[in-house]
Amino acid sequence: MPPGKRKSKFNPEGRGYDFDGAHKAGLKPDKTGHWPSRDPESGKLLKGKSHPTWNKTVAAEKRYGYKIYKRNGRYYSKKTKKGK
């Protein structure tokens, strides 16, 4: 979705995707058209918690050693120390 074309403000608890946040972070879809779930610089998650593939994001973050947390109304992911 092009910047500025969003239909409503992103809701971190909703089903949507933060396209404006992705664009501001310089992110783009991959060759299949899939947008990243996380801004790699800030750790901010770009899918709402009720997004249809939120569970895949949670599983992938865990698999790669990241922990999801909430701060200031948004969800983020942070690399955990090994063994924690």
CA 84, CA 81: separation in Å to the nearest integer? 6
Task: Mention every residue, 6+ apart, whose C-beta is less than 8 A from residue 10.
Answer: 16, 17, 18, 20, 21, 48
Q: Quick one: which of 71, 3, 75, 69 has its CA closest to 37?
A: 75
> pTM of this prediction?
0.85
pLDDT for the residue 81: 80
Listed by start position, the domains of the chain span 19-79
Phi and psi at residue 73, to the nearest 5°: 85, -5
Q: What is the pLDDT along the chain (84 residues), one digit of tens a residue?
A: 555 555 579 999 999 999 999 999 999 999 999 999 999 999 999 999 999 999 999 999 999 999 999 999 999 999 998 645
Phi and psi at residue 10, to the nearest 5°: -65, 135
pLDDT for the residue 1: 54
